[in-house]
């Protein structure tokens, strides 16, 4: 149906983003294709490849999933922070990612776990790193004929120490001023960071990895000073804007605090290798 009616057909899942945009006359699809009953797009499953999450899995289901909470707690925490109960009951992880808004909460924890996404059209499928999925604000690499089918967190990333945090203008029911996640591995013998991944949202046109901060932490001793310096570096990597919710300067300050806290949060879950 998407192929036959491209580019005027748009898939609809939970509708928590699309219907708002339609009501505001921001988009005018000629045809809505309801994908909510496609069995393959539902479910969370542990496979030989890793943890597979269907694109139609809701935030409420992710929040409640024992598999997600056990293997990727930061992903569960991100879904728990999305909107209200009503939004979490309808909104899907696939819809959140496809929206490609800079502040989407699902992206940072998936980015630090090197997640992959599978997209499909009538001709076949392809799998790409999530980091390449985001092209620009409100723009993914999906063509009008493609669907996001699933998200895969590779098996080697399961159980890694990760954490997620968002700062908003309120403690709940709020869009992120800044959000982010960390995944850390620490060497038992040296007490140094072995591998660290950091991702940020709402501070650039798309969710980003803070790669300079990651590089800085490599082989550095775990210490408050080292973690604080990583936050400062990450603040320099951010490219926030001024808008009605916050100034760019304030967001950069928040990045420094957030990076410190997500690293500390991940360290608190660390099983030293």
Structure confidence by residue, pLDDT tens digits, 114-130: 999 999 999 999 999 99
Domain boundary residue, one of 114, 140, 156: 156
In-domain check, residue 1? no
64 falls within a domain: yes
Q: Are residues 165 and 228 in the same domain?
A: yes
Shared domain for 34 and 123, answered yes or no, is: yes
DSSP state of 145: T
Q: pLDDT tens for residues 214-224?
A: 999 999 999 99
Whether residues 143 and 260 share a domain: the answer is no
**Direct distance between the N- and C-terminal alpha carbons of the chain, in angstroms, rounded to an integer:** 50
Q: Are 117 and 167 in a shared domain?
A: no
Average confidence (pLDDT) per 10 residues, the chain, 273 residues: 91 91 92 94 97 97 97 96 91 95 95 98 96 95 95 97 92 84 94 96 96 97 97 96 90 97 93 44
- Does 273 map to a domain? no
**Count of C-beta atoms within a 10 Å radius of residue 188:** 10
pTM for the whole structure: 0.93
User: Is 54 in the same domain as 148?
Assistant: yes
103 and 170 both lie in a single domain: no
Phi and psi angles of residue 11, each rounded to the nearest 5 degrees, phi first: -75, 145
Does 18 share its domain with 134?
yes
pLDDT computed for residue 271 by the predictor: 53
Q: What is the pLDDT of residues 33-43, one digit of tens each?
A: 999 999 999 99
Does 204 reside within a domain?
yes
Record the tokens describing residue 80, joined without a space.
């728990």
Domain that holds residue 182: 160-268
Tally of CB atoms within 10 A around 73: 20
Count of the separate structural domains present in the chain: 2
Residue 2 is assigned to a structural domain of this protein: no
**Claim to verify: residue 171 and residue 123 sit in the same structural domain:** no
CATH number at residue 244: 3.30.390.50
Same domain, 152 and 47: yes
For residues 23 and 99, state if they share a domain.
yes
Contact 125, 118 (CB under 8 A): yes
Report yes or no on 3 lying in a domain: no
| One domain for residues 151 and 164 | no
Regarding whether 64 and 34 lie in a shared domain, the answer is: yes
């Amino acid at each position: 149906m998407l192929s036959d009616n491209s580019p005027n057909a748009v898939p609809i899942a939970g509708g928590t983003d699309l219907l708002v945009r339609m009501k505001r006359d921001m988009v005018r699809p000629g045809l809505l294709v309801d994908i909510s009953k496609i069995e393959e797009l539902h479910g969370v499953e542990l496979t030989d490849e890793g943890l597979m999450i269907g694109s139609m899995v809701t935030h409420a289901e992710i929040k409640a999933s024992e598999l997600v909470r056990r293997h990727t707690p930061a992903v569960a925490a991100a879904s728990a922070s999305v909107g209200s109960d009503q939004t979490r009951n309808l909104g899907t992880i696939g819809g959140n990612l496809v929206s490609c808004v800079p502040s989407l909460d699902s992206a940072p924890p998936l980015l630090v776990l090197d997640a992959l996404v599978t997209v499909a059209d009538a001709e076949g499928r392809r799998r790409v790193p999530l980091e390449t999925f985001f092209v620009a604000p409100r723009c993914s690499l999906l063509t009008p004929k493609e669907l996001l089918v699933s998200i895969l967190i590779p098996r080697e990333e399961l159980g890694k120490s990760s954490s997620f945090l968002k700062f908003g203008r309120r403690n709940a029911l709020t869009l992120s001023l800044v959000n982010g996640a960390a995944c850390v591995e620490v060497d038992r013998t040296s007490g140094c960071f072995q591998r660290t991944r950091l991702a940020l949202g709402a501070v650039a046109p798309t969710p980003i990895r803070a790669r300079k901060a990651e590089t800085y932490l490599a082989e550095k001793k775990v210490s408050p000073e080292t973690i604080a310096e990583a936050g400062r570096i990450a603040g320099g990597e951010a490219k926030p804007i001024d808008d009605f919710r916050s100034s760019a300067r304030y967001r950069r300050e928040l990045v420094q605090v957030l990076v410190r806290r997500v690293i500390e949060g991940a360290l608190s879950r660390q099983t030293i290798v």
